[in-house]
A and B are shown apart, each in its own frame.
Chain A
Amino acid sequence: MATVIIPTPLRKFTNNTARLEIEADTIAKTVSALTVNFPDLKKHLLDDRGQIRSFVNIFVGNDDIRNLEQEDTFVAPDAIISIVPAIAGGAIVNVAVTGCLLPVTRT
């Protein structure tokens, strides 16, 4: 099953869960499964037409799905899918995500 990393601003809507295991072979099906299991996520991820909101960034591994096949992007069973917020916002949620609060790199 693929792992979906939920960013802190959205963990309020996933019972404070930071990582979810989802069985789906495309991004569209992954997002659909997410919003079925956590209905409050829907309005934050999808627009009125059911499309992924244009400022929501989804990565499979290190690749932005905009540079792949968009919603039709294939998801391998061991894929890591990240939902990445734009630069602002965020939240304190007491969940254990290894390394999340450590500096990533230093220049």
Chain B
Amino acid sequence: MSTVISTSTIDLQLLRSVQQLGTQIGHTPLHRITRLFNKPGVTVYAKKEWKQLSGSVKARAGYAIFKAAIENGSLTKQKALLDATSGNTGIAYATIGARLGVPVTLCLPENASPERKEILRSLDAEIIYTSRFEGTDGAQQVARALAMEQPEAYYYADQYRNDNNWKAHYHSTALEIFEALPGITHFVAGLGTSGTFTGTGRRLKELNPAIRLTSLQPDNPLHGLEGWKHMETAIVPTIYDSTLADDNLEVGTEEAWEMIKAAYHYEQLLLSPSAAANLVGALQVAEKLDHGVVVTILPDNADKYKDIIKKLL
């Protein structure tokens, strides 16, 4: 079914503002791992995604979702963007919303880290705290119910179902990686909404079908890898393509914590648990190779995990 949208519903000034904001999204640097892993013929690179607006990889999806909704008239300054989030997407939405003057309402599990709550409050996002027993799955249900109750008040972004999530990576992350490292042989990333893995992986496969894709998941339903999903016990995001990965690996929370220490010691990288977990997976892939270029994503740094860092370092 095709949708016809009247241009009168599109706020042209808002459209110009969101387009201008695009220069602050993506184009993040690659860090070559040299001390933590050193094997002739095999190189490992990690993309430092905190080096963009809002300090995490979620700037890409958040921005793409915002932009598409403004472009098609679904989102104006008269509506609030609404979504469920465990933190980084919320910070991306709130940062972009604050820049554009669009209100943002977030459903956030009440056990989110204090740093995240503080950042979101400082960005004037409205926060609806949801059950600490339900994680982001419970937050999604609250957001969905709210959107159905008040469709005139909210644009429900639904990052777990929104194609602009994975498309953001299809159109940016993958191309940045391939342009910088045309010899890439392996891409490794964890699954949360699965947007990063799906979008980046799908495009890399199109650019070179020989590139091997490895998806990572936590090894435990009660893991500590913020942003990741244990697919067996979670609501599987609609955008997740289970056929895309050539290989799947599990990473333990304790392994990620050990990697936080090692990455700081050997690479001077201060990583979040999920970034460290991606690096664990990338190094596991790299260790099995004789030749190759392995690339992974570092979704964010340790800025929002002061308690964990204080205990580990």
Using a CB–CB cutoff of 8 Å, the interface residues on chain A facing chain B are 5, 7-10, 12, 43-45, 47, 53-57, 82-92, 97, 99-107
Contact = CB atoms under 8 A, between A and B. Distances in A.
B230 interface: yes
Contacts of B220: 43-44, 53
B129 A104 contact: yes
Given A88-B227, A89-B221, A101 B136 contact: no
Contacts of A92: 137, 141, 235
Contacts of B132: 82, 84-85, 104
24 contacts: A8-B137, A9-B233, A12-B221, A44-B220, A53-B222, A55-B254, A84-B132, A84-B133, A87-B86, A87-B109, A88-B192, A88-B227, A89-B218, A89-B221, A89-B230, A89-B233, A90-B136, A91-B234, A99-B131, A100-B133, A101-B141, A101-B145, A106-B128, A107-B126
Interface string B203-237: 00000000000000010111111111110011100
Contacts of A55: 222-224, 253-254
Given A8-B134, A100-B134, A86 B129 contact: no
B158 interface: no
B222 A103 contact: no
Contacts, number: 145
Interface of B is mostly: loop
B86 A91 contact: no
A106 B128 CA distance: 4
Nearest to B109: A87
B136 A87 contact: yes
Contacts of B253: 53-55, 86
Contacts of B225: 86, 88
Given A12-B233, A55-B224, A88 B135 contact: yes
Given A10-B233, A44-B220, 10 more contacts: A57-B111, A85-B221, A89-B233, A90-B137, A90-B234, A91-B235, A92-B137, A103-B129, A104-B129, A104-B132
Contacts of B137: 8, 89-92
A89 B138 contact: no
A106 B126 contact: yes
B229 A88 contact: yes
A87 B135 contact: yes
A90 to B, nearest CB: 3
Contact of B142 (A86, A89, A103): A103
Interface string B102-138: 0000010111110000000100001111111111111
Given A86-B222, A87-B86, A88-B225, A5 B230 contact: no
Contacts of B142: 101-103
Nearest to B107: A103
Nearest to A93: B233
Contacts of A8: 133-135, 137-138, 233
B160 to A, nearest CB: 12
A104 B218 contact: no
Contact of A100 (B112, B131, B226): B131
Nearest to A106: B128
B220 to A, nearest CB: 6
A8 B232 CA distance: 12
Given A100-B133, A107-B129, A87 B138 contact: no
A56 B111 CA distance: 13
Nearest to B224: A55
